[in-house]
Amino acid sequence: MMTAHSSSLLTVEALEQSFGGVMALAGVSFQTPEKLVYAIIGPNGAGKTTLFNVLCGFYSPTAGALRFDGHELRGLPPHRIAALGIARTFQNLQLFFNMTVLENVMVGCHLRAKTGLLSAALRLPRVRREERQLRAWAAEALELCGLSDRAGQLAGALPYGLMKRVEIARALAAKPRLLLLDEPAAGLNDTETMALRDLIARIHATGVTILLVEHHMPLVMSIADRLLVLDYGSVLAEGPPVEIQANPRVIAAYLGGAVQYAV
């Protein structure tokens, strides 16, 4: 039996998020064990991205608890949550378009550096040393994401598929313990999606726990260790891919069939 309780990195309990009476999340509970690829699926509007935004501190939940590695996330601003070791990518690209790919990824290293305003303005020797270190770290993340040859280009000038990779590289540069990927395959063609699958596997191999929101079922089923199925802001099912694929409630929700289930 899994020892999910003892090794859970992220624990979400009875999480509720309402927007003016609309329940986007109606009591969601789950645990993400450490070093797993944990996928969250569900139809559009099921509350997947809302869940990410609550996790990241962009929304403050109406009720419930969020614990990451023993820290309560509720009430923390996003930059404090990031400092605990959570990084994410965005469904709709949030790149720094007017900066180069390398600079984007160097921003990802923000928390691993210390340079303050005054030392930066004076460009003290230790600032130069730190800049070199940041470049090396950023280069590592770019290498892992296959973007080394794009380092000097403006992020806004890249093709869409590569922009999505820059977001992943930027998030990785923060050396997160938990990486949230919000629909990384959206808008990618089949070749790019397969490459993305390899990339996620490589990232996973470095020991990062991955929380993946994705609609591309072949990708999800081939890479996720466990899945959480959301529907109308509630948990419909949770378990390993084989169980989920055989779950009649999930099939009903996805195929829109006439199978009824208790609410």
d(CA 67, CA 11): 5
* Contacting residue, 107, 186, 195, 251, with another protein by CB under 8 A: 107
Q: Does position 241 bind another protein by CB under 8 A?
A: no
**Cβ closest to another protein, residue 99 vs residue 252:** 99
**SS3 readout for 82-99:** HHCCEEECCCCCCCCCCC
d(CA 163, CA 74): 31
* Binding window for another protein (CB under 8 A); candidates: 21-29, 63-71, 104-112, 215-223: 104-112
* Contacting residue, 65, 113, 154, 186, with another protein by CB under 8 A: 113
Q: Does position 208 bind another protein by CB under 8 A?
A: no
d(CA 222, CA 140): 26
**For 151, what's the count of Cα atoms within 13 Å in the CB-facing half-sphere?**
14
Q: Does position 117 bind another protein by CB under 8 A?
A: yes
* Binding window for another protein (CB under 8 A); candidates: 2-10, 64-72, 117-125, 219-227: 117-125
* Binding window for another protein (CB under 8 A); candidates: 3-11, 16-24, 96-104, 198-206: 96-104
Torsion angle defined by CA atoms of residues 162, 167, 172 and 177, in that order, rounded to the nearest 10 degrees: -130
Q: Does position 98 bind another protein by CB under 8 A?
A: yes
Enumerate residues 6+ apart whose C-beta is below 8 A from 161.
187, 188, 189, 192
**SS3 readout for 113-163:** CCCCHHHHHHCCHHHHHHHHHHHHHHHHHHHHCCCHHHCCCEHHHCCHHHH
**Cβ closest to another protein, residue 83 vs residue 136:** 83
d(CA 134, CA 126): 12
Task: Kindly state the smallest distance separating residue 140's Cβ from another protein, in Å.
Answer: 16
Number of residues that bind another protein (CB under 8 A): 37
**Cβ closest to another protein, residue 120 vs residue 217:** 120
CA 20 to chain centre: 26
Touching another protein, residues 141-200 (CB under 8 A): 170, 174
Report CA Rg, the chain: 19
- Per-residue binding letters, 26-65, with another protein (x by CB under 8 A): ------------------------------xxx-------
Q: For the packed helices 125-144 and 101-108, what is the interaxial angle rounded to 10 degrees?
A: 110
Q: Does position 136 bind another protein by CB under 8 A?
A: no
Residues that bind another protein (CB under 8 A): 56-58, 77-79, 82-83, 87-88, 90, 94-99, 103, 106-108, 110-111, 113, 115-117, 120-123, 127, 130-131, 134, 170, 174
